[in-house]
Amino acid sequence: MVVGSLLLVAGLVEAFAGKLHRQAKGLSALAGAATTLAGLLFVFNSVGHFSRTVVLVTGWLIVRSIILLFAGRYSSGTVRIWTLSSAAMDFLLALLLLTGLSIASLIVTLFGPTAEVVAGFAWIFALSFVVTGAMLLEIASCERRYG
pLDDT tens figures, 92-123: 888 888 877 655 665 666 666 666 666 666 67
DSSP letter at 19 equals T
pLDDT (0 to 100) of residue 136? 78
Distance CA 21, CA 89 (A): 20
Confidence of residue 71 (pLDDT cuts 50, 70, 90): very high
Which of these, 129, 126, 72, lies nearest to 137 by C-alpha position? 129
pLDDT (0 to 100) of residue 44? 82
pLDDT (0 to 100) of residue 45? 74
CA 96 → CA 103, 124, 135, 136, distances in Å? 11, 9, 22, 24
Distance CA 21, CA 24 (A): 6
Q: Is the pTM of this model over 0.75?
A: no
